[in-house]
Amino acid sequence: MKSRDTHWGWIVGAVLILIWSAFPIVWILSLSFKQPGEVIGGNPQFLPKNWTWSNYDYVFSIPLFTHALVNSIGISLIATTVGVVFATLVAYAIARLAFPGKGLILGFALAIAMFPVASLVGPLFDLWRNIGLYDTWLGLIIPYISFALPLALWTLSAFFREIPWEMEQAAQVDGATNWQAFRKVIVPLAAPGVFTAAILTFFFCWNDFVFGISLTSTDNARPVPAALAFFTGRSQFEQPATYQAAAAVIVTIPVIILVLLFQRRIVAGLTSGAVKG
Amino acid sequence: MTTTLERPPKAPTTKVKVELSDRGRAERKLGLLLSTPAVVVMLVVTAYPLLNALYLSLFEYRLTNPEGKTFVGLRNYQVVLTDRLFWTDVANTFIITVITVGVELVIGFGFAMVMHKAIFARKTLRTSILLPYGIVTVVSAIAWKYAFDLQSGFVNQWFGLGDFAWFSHRWSSLAVIIFSEIWKTTPFISLLLLAGLAQVPGDLDEAASVDGATWWQRFYKVTIPNMKGAIMVAVLFRTLDAWRIFDNIYIMTAGAQQTESLSFLTYKQTITRTAIGLGNAVGVLLFLSVVLIAAIFIKGFKVDLSQVRGGK
């Protein structure tokens, strides 16, 4: 009797988790297929009355969205690549080399992870305007790298702890230099960790809104989350709801693909830094 | 090593030592070299702007009147700290943080237990719970905004609330903001708790069960104490994350109906920039509040951050 109760409890819990995760996604998907006129009368139904692709046609026809999409993809990929390379170098140094300031670097990274980003955007805004980085890709790539670094650094440190470093020493005994030992022996072993750090970093960059809205002013560098805030209806009598929903669905697709493909790695990466493995 | 000691003193021990320290020096150099790019980029984006904010906060400085930039000491802080808007925003930030973290901890624990005990569909559950985590915060804010919206939403219809305008009142707006934040970030906390649950020794729980402990007693006396570290780390990170809430508020109310958070106030003051000096004073206060919270957690609750750092 008791075990059957817990069994049912588990099933209810599992169903709740599935609904929790899927419901808002189904809702935004439904909204993106509604006709703009359907969301101004009040009391609309959950699913579209007349399904339409027109919202998608529209968002792909406006530079506000298409440029933003290109910006988001380009900036996120560059920031992820550079950030993960930087984080890998540091994590390797911390795991393997004796040098002063390790604790300082880790502590500093930790402090940045807790940093209230909003208190920096004002001064960064000034600085970027003075040196010409305002409203450019680089102007977003730099802050993305520095704020995604801590997460990448912990993930990598946790992974690097599990690597059998004797193999590197063996390579060094055989006459390989530090650099060769690193590249030929450690990199292949570390690749899964690096990949996990890359996914988490990409999520961070893809998600950013504070920097995106503060440090850009045109299609030149504005990423999608910031662009979503600027959506308007096609006329003043239209709500932007259905268009925003279509754009929102499009930027959610990469997230869903990454989650479906790399679920295990993401979970491992998220928890490795927080709990002793 | 013993063989070295047995060698005649003629043996070049000093040379070995020099080699080691050469190697040590090279290692030191390499270590610093490898760390440089990351440290530099982190410093550029944090240390300099923060010092700059601190400096500017000491001036009466409006962009509309750059010539009139004058040193005023701590007066901006005095102005901010005696302003009712600032305290309203502190209250909002505090309420949002306490409620979201509290509710997330309870729901997150529930989710973690379900995933921990997963009989089947383990992978499906973890995959689905990662969706809210991965989704762009602005997208989540848009989804929930239009769900509650009078024109486009279904919430009022489903729950028979007639034409209640959620975003026309302070408390109902805050409720929706909190709701969307909870939806998006509960998965993070539940995954951390799940990892913590995996560390609770199963035999301990079993022993307590054999001794006749009820479910609640086992949970309270065995499970919780054994994963205290994971809980505290999860709460610390979520608290500081909730404290800087910005995206949801920007999308849902843009700060209307007195729903601004401290981050939103800072953004508004420094980027919309009526008064740079004042805005930076708010930013510095926001920064100090985060330092204070972190200090309370680390000193007061003894959160062991060496766990987080990936150190031993």
Report pLDDT digits (tens) over B131-161.
Answer: 999 999 999 999 999 999 888 888 888 888 8
For A61-272, CATH gives 1.10.3720.10
Q: pLDDT tens digits for B244-255?
A: 999 999 999 998
Residues of B in contact with A144 (CB under 8 A): none
Upper half-sphere CA count for residue B280 (Cβ side, 13 Å): 24
A275 and B195: CB-CB below 8 Å? yes
Test mutation, B124, B152, B272, chain A, max A CBs within 10 A? B152
Q: Is B49 on the interface with A (CB under 8 A)?
A: yes
Do the beta carbons of residue A148 and residue A205 sit within 8 Å?
yes
Tokens matching residue A18: 């599935």
Biggest alpha carbon–alpha carbon distance for chain B:
97
Q: Per-domain residue ranges for chain A?
A: 61-272
Which residues of chain B have a CB within 8 Å of the CB of A145? 41
Q: Three-state SS string across chain B, please?
A: CHHHHHCCCCCCHHHHHHHHHHHHHHHHHHHHHHHHHHHHHHHHHHHHHHHHHHHHCCEEEECCEEEEEEECCCHHHHHHHCCHHHHHHHHHHHHHHHHHHHHHHHHHHHHHHHHHCCCCCHHHHHHHHHHHHHCCHHHHHHHHHHHHCCCCCCHHHHCCCCCCCHHHCHHHHHHHHHHHHHHHHHHHHHHHHHHHHCCCCHHHHHHHHHCCCCHHHHHHHHHHHHCHHHHHHHHHHHHHHHHCCCHHHHHHCCCCCCCCCHHHHHHHHHCCCCCHHHHHHHHHHHHHHHHHHHHHHHHHCCCCCHHHHCCC
CA–CA dist A243, A149 (Å, integer): 34
Instruction: Work out the pLDDT band at A165, boundaries 50, 70, 90.
Output: confident
Q: How much is the ipTM here?
A: 0.90
- Distance (Å) from the C-alpha of residue B117 to the closest C-alpha of chain A? 8
- Residues A113-124 have pLDDT tens digits of 888 989 899 889
Q: What is the residue-averaged pLDDT of chain A?
A: 87
Q: Taking the alpha carbons of A16, B219, B240, B133 in that order, is the dihedral positive or negative?
A: negative
Q: Which of A90, A98, A256 sits opposite B35 (nearest CB)?
A: A90
Give per-residue pLDDT as tens, B253-265: 998 889 999 999 9
Q: A-contacting residues of B 251-270, CB under 8 Å?
A: 251, 262-264, 266-267, 269-270
Burial B183-218 (b: 16+ CB within 10 A, else e): bbbbbbbbbbbbbbbeebeeeebeebeeeebeeeeb
Interface of A with B in 17-76 (CB under 8 A): 17-18, 20-22, 24-25, 27-28, 31, 39-46
At B212-229, the pLDDT tens digits run 888 888 888 888 888 888
Q: Is the pLDDT of residue A18 over 90?
A: yes
Beta bridge partners of B59: B71
> Residue B13's pLDDT band (boundaries 50, 70, 90)?
very low
Q: Is A245's Cβ below 8 Å from some Cβ in B?
A: yes
- Measured CA to CA, the distance from residue B110 to residue B104 in angstroms comes to 10
Task: Give pLDDT, residue A141.
Answer: 95
Q: How far apart are CA B188 and CA A270, in angstroms?
A: 8
Q: Do A25 and B45 touch (CB under 8 A)?
A: no
Q: Where does chain A have alpha helices with state H?
A: 2-32, 54-59, 63-96, 102-114, 118-131, 137-161, 166-173, 178-180, 187-207, 210-214, 224-228, 241-272
**A129: which 2 tokens?**
């305007």
Q: For residue A128, give how far its alpha carbon lies from the nearest alpha carbon of chain B (Å).
A: 10
Q: Which pairs from B75-78 meet CB under 8 Å and 24+ separation?
A: B76/B277, B76/B278, B76/B280, B76/B281, B77/B281, B77/B284, B77/B285
Structure confidence at residue A204 (pLDDT):
92
Q: Are strands B59-62 and B65-71 parallel, antiparallel or unpaired?
A: antiparallel
Per CB-CB distance under 8 Å, the chain A contacts of B311 are 103, 106, 157
pLDDT at B66 over 80: no
The predicted-structure confidence for A43-96, as pLDDT tens digits, reads as follows 678 888 889 999 999 999 999 999 999 999 999 999 999 999 999 999 888 887
CA A123 – CA B193 distance, rounded (Å): 37
Q: Bigger pLDDT: B268 or A43? A: B268
Could you tell me the two tokens for A254? 């990469």
Contact A118 B111 (CB under 8 A): no
Given a cut of 90, is residue A208 above it in pLDDT? yes
- Is CATH 1.10.3720.10 the classification given to domain B75-309? yes
Q: What is the tens place of the pLDDT at every residue in B157-214?
A: 888 888 888 888 999 999 999 999 999 999 999 998 988 888 888 787 788 888 888 8
Rounded CA separation B278/B269 (Å): 7
Average pLDDT over every residue of B280-307: 83
Per cent of chain B over pLDDT 70 is 89
Contact B132/A at CB under 8 A: yes
Report CB contact under 8 Å: B307, A275: yes
- Residue B107, pLDDT > 70, answer yes
The structure tokens 């004002």 sit at: A122
Whether the predicted pLDDT of B266 surpasses 80: yes
* Residue ranges covered by each domain of chain B: 75-309
| Cα nearest neighbour of B182 on chain A | A20
Per-residue pLDDT at A206 = 95
